[in-house]
């Protein structure tokens, strides 16, 4: 099960904006000792349009846009990623 944790606003060199949704898979651990317990996994990223996104580190992401041979590098000023 995945849930949307947050939305990140990022921009490419031309100033185009990209809304990147960060999802975290959540495992239900309620069959263990604590009923209702959950555990978060590693985040995954997608644009609002559904394009694949890779976190490059810091505030940089690579967006795979259909029709483009190479990923587009976008940057965010979001304090969690800078």
| pLDDT 10s digits, 10-50 | 999 999 999 999 998 766 555 556 555 455 678 899 999 99
Whether 45 and 53 have beta carbons less than 8 Å apart is answered as: yes
Residue 77 has pLDDT above 80, yes or no: yes
Residue 53 has pLDDT above 90, yes or no: yes
pTM of the model: 0.79
Query: For the chain, what is the mean pLDDT?
Result: 86
């Amino acid at each position: 099960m995945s849930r949307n944790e947050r939305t990140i606003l990022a921009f490419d060199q031309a100033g185009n904006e990209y809304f990147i949704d960060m999802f975290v898979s959540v495992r239900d651990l309620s069959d263990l000792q604590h009923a209702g317990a959950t555990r978060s996994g590693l985040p995954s990223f997608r644009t609002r349009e559904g394009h694949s996104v890779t976190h490059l580190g810091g505030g940089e992401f690579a967006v795979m846009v259909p029709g483009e041979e190479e990923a587009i590098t976008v940057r965010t000023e979001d304090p969690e990623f800078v």
